[in-house]
Structure 1
Amino acid sequence: MNRNLKASPMKNPIILALDVDTRDQALRIADDLSDIVGGFKLGPRLCLRYGMDFVKEMGERGPIFLDNKHFDIPSTMEAAVRASFEAGASLVTVHALSGAEALRKMAEVERELNQQRPFRILAVTILTSWDQNSLPVNLKPMPVAEHVTTLASMVQDSGLSSVVCSPHELDLLQNRGLYLVTPGIRTSMQASGDQKRIMGPQEALQLGASALVVGRPILEAKDIKQAATEFVMAVYEEK
C-alpha cells in the first residue's frame, strides 16, 4: 500500500489508539495489525501499569505515539519527553496550555532529538471530550474554536509545528504548515462514545489532517483486521 508521506514518522495516517487494559491484549492486537495501521498510540492506561520497557516492546511492532499529555514546569516536561524518546516513541504529547516558555523548551528538545531520528512533539489544544458546554469554567468565556486557533498560534510561535485538535477545527488550521493529528474519527454509523467533536476519515484528511487517531471503532469491531483495513483503505479512496 502507498505510504502517505504527510503522516511521517507514522507508516500511514491511521494511528490505532490501544485503549486496552493488559499487556497481552495490546501485544496481540499490535501483532495482528502491525502491517495494516500506521502506528500505535499508548497512554497512561498501559504505561503506568507496564512502564517504559513495555513501550520499547511495542516499538518493535510499529511507530509509537506516546500520549501522556505532559503539563508541568518546563524542566519536568523536558525530562518526560526525553524519557519517552529514549523508550522509542516517535510522537509525544504535551499540553499547549502549559504556556509559551514550556513550549519553547519543547521546541529546543525536538530540534535536538531530531538529529538522531524523526521525532515530533505534539501540542494538545482542546480535548475532543470537551465542547462549549463542558469547557472548564475559566475557559468558557472564549469559544472552543478560538481557544484552538489561539493555542495553535502560540505553539507555532514557540517553534513547534505539530498540534492535536479535533477534526472540527481542522479548517481553521489549514495552510499553516502544521502537522495535525486528529482524534475523534468515526464513520457515520459508529457511536461517538465520549468524543463530542467527531468526523469521518476522508473528510478529516481533506481538511488537512496529517494523521488520524482511531480506537474503539477498530478495537470493538467483530473483526479488527477488517475494521483497520477499511479505515486505511478509506484514506486512499477517491471521492
Structure 2
Amino acid sequence: MKKNLRAHPMRNPIILALDVDTRDQALKIADDLSEIVGGFKLGPRLCLRYGMEFVKEMAQRGPIFLDNKHFDIPSTMEAAVRASFEAGASLVTVHALSGAEALKRMAAVEKELQSQRPFKILAVTILTSWDQASVPGNMKEQPIAQHVTDLVNLVSSSGLQGVVCSPHELDLLQNRDLYLVTPGIRFSMQDSGDQKRIMGPKEALRKGASALVVGRPILESNNIKETATDFVMAAYEEK
C-alpha cells in the first residue's frame, strides 16, 4: 500500500486497536498485520500489565497510538506524554476536559517533540461508548454534539489540532484543519458492541476523518488478515 498522507503519522488510515490481554497475543497479531494496517492502538489493558518496555517492543512493528487518555494536572500530563514519546508512541491521547492550561502546555510539548520525529497529541472529546442517555448528569444540559463542538473549540484555541471524536460529530468538524481520529468503525451496524455512535469506514472518511480505529471487527473475524485488508481497501477508496 502506498502511504496516505492524510493518515500521518500512521502509515495508512486504519489503526488496529489491540484489545487483547497478553503480550504474546499482541505481538502475534502485530507481526501478522504489520504490513497491512497503518498502526496499532495500545491502552491500559496491555500497558498496565507489561509496561513501557512492551510499548517500545511494539513500536518496532509499526506506529503506535498510545491511548491512556491522560487527565491530570498539567505537569503530570506533560510527564506522561514525554514518557509515551520516549517509548516510541506516534499518537498519544489526553482529555480535552483537562482544560485550557493543560491543553496549552500539551501544544508546546507537541511542537517540541514534533521537531524530533512525527508525533501528535490527540484530545479526547466525548467517549463513543456514551449516548445522550448515558452522559453524566452534570453534562446533560446540552446535546453531545454541542459538548464535542465546545471541547474542540477549546482544543483548537489552545494550539492543538488532533482530536478524537465519534463519527457522528465529523460533519460538525469539517474544514477546520483538524487531524480527526475516529473510533466506533464497523462494516456492520449490527455489531456495535459497547460503542453507541458508530459508522462505516467509507462514510467516516468521506465526512473528514483522518484515521479510523478498528478493533473487534478485525480481531474477532475468522480471517484477521483478510478483514484488515478489507478495511484498508475501503479507506483507500475514499482517500
Q: Does 1:7 align with 2:15?
A: no
Partner of 2:61: 61
> Aligned runs of 1:1-239 on 2, under 5 Å?
1-188=1-188, 190-237=190-237
Matching residue's letter, 1:202: K
- How far does residue 142 in structure 1 lie from its aligned partner after superposition? 1.3
Aligned length: 239
Moved runs in structure 1, 4+ residues, more than 2 A?
A: none
Give the Cα separation in 2 of the matches to 1:237 and 1:115: 32
Matching residue's letter, 1:66: L
Q: CA RMSD for the aligned pairs?
A: 1.0
- How far does residue 58 in structure 1 lie from its aligned partner after superposition? 0.2
- How far does residue 189 in structure 1 lie from its aligned partner after superposition? 5.3
- How far does residue 190 in structure 1 lie from its aligned partner after superposition? 4.8
Identity fraction in percent? 81
State the secondary structure of the residue aligned to 1:50: helix
Matching residue's letter, 2:196: K
- How far does residue 99 in structure 1 lie from its aligned partner after superposition? 0.4
Matching residue's letter, 1:94: V
Matching residue's letter, 2:11: K
**Contact in 1 for aligned 2:40/2:65 (Cα 8 Å):** yes
Which whole-Å deviations, capped at 9, do the CAs of 1:15-68 have from their partners, x for residues lacking one?
A: 000000000000000000000000000000000000000000000000000000
Matching residue's letter, 2:61: R
Give unmatched runs, 5+ long, in structure 1: none
Give the Cα separation in 1 of the matches to 2:188 and 2:49: 34
Matching residue's letter, 1:59: A
- How far does residue 114 in structure 1 lie from its aligned partner after superposition? 0.6
Compute the TM-score of the two structures, normalised by the length of structure 1. 0.98
- How far does residue 2 in structure 1 lie from its aligned partner after superposition? 2.4
Compute the TM-score of the two structures, normalised by the length of structure 2. 0.98
Which whole-Å deviations, capped at 9, do the CAs of 1:137-168 have from their partners, x for residues lacking one?
A: 10111110000000001000000000000000
Matching residue's letter, 1:107: A
Give the Cα separation in 2 of the matches to 1:196 and 1:224: 24
Give the Cα separation in 1 of the matches to 2:238 and 2:230: 14
- How far does residue 235 in structure 1 lie from its aligned partner after superposition? 1.0
Greater displacement, 96-105 / 187-196: 187-196
Give the Cα separation in 1 of the matches to 2:214 and 2:40: 10
Which whole-Å deviations, capped at 9, do the CAs of 1:100-123 have from their partners, x for residues lacking one?
A: 000000000000001100100000
Give the Cα separation in 2 of the matches to 1:46 and 1:196: 24
Matching residue's letter, 1:71: F
- How far does residue 238 in structure 1 lie from its aligned partner after superposition? 6.2
Give unmatched runs, 5+ long, in structure 2: none
- How far does residue 237 in structure 1 lie from its aligned partner after superposition? 2.5
Give the Cα separation in 1 of the matches to 2:95 and 2:176: 19
Give the Cα separation in 1 of the matches to 2:88 and 2:164: 20
Return closer, same or farther for 1:151/1:189 CA change in 2, 3 Å cut-off. closer
**Contact in 2 for aligned 1:190/1:217 (Cα 8 Å):** no
Return closer, same or farther for 1:238/1:56 CA change in 2, 3 Å cut-off. closer
**Contact in 1 for aligned 2:206/2:238 (Cα 8 Å):** no
Matching residue's letter, 2:18: L
**Contact in 2 for aligned 1:55/1:87 (Cα 8 Å):** yes
Give the Cα separation in 2 of the matches to 1:78 and 1:178: 22
Give the Cα separation in 1 of the matches to 2:238 and 2:70: 38
